[in-house]
Amino acid sequence: MPRVALGIAYDGSRWLGWQTQRGGGTVQDTLESALARFLAQPVGTICAGRTDTGVHALGQVVHLDTAVERRGESWVRGLNALLPDSIAVQWARIVPDEFHARFSALSRSYVYLVRNARQRTPLMHARVGWVYHALDLARMRQAAVRLVGEHDFSSFRSSQCQAASPVRNLSVLDIVQHGEYFLFTFKANAFLHHMVRNLMGALLYVGQGRQEAEWIDELLAQRDRKRAAPTFAPDGLYLAQVQYPEGFQLPIADPAQALFSHLGLMPPH
Q: Which of 76, 105, 78 shows the shortest CA–CA distance to 93?
A: 76
Catalytic residue among 52, 217, 224, 235: 52
Q: What is the mean pLDDT of the chain?
A: 93
Q: Could you give all domains of the chain from N- to C-terminal order, each with its CATH number?
A: 3-104 (3.30.70.580), 107-238 (3.30.70.660)
Q: Which tens digits make up the pLDDT trace of 146-187?
A: 999 999 999 999 988 888 999 999 999 999 998 999 999 999
Q: Which tens digits make up the pLDDT trace of 217-262?
A: 999 999 999 999 999 999 999 999 999 999 999 998 788 787 877 7
Write down the pLDDT at residue 268.
Answer: 59
Q: Please tell me whether residue 259 adopts helix, strand or coil conformation.
A: helix
217 assigned to active site: no
100/113 Cα distance (integer angstroms): 29
- Which one is predicted more confidently, 73 or 224? 224
Helices 195-207 & 137-144 angle (0-180, nearest 10): 130
62 pLDDT band, cuts 50/70/90, is very high
**Mean of the pLDDT values across residues 205-210?**
97
Write down the pLDDT at residue 181.
Answer: 93
Give the CB-side neighbour count of residue 40, counting CA atoms within 13 A.
4
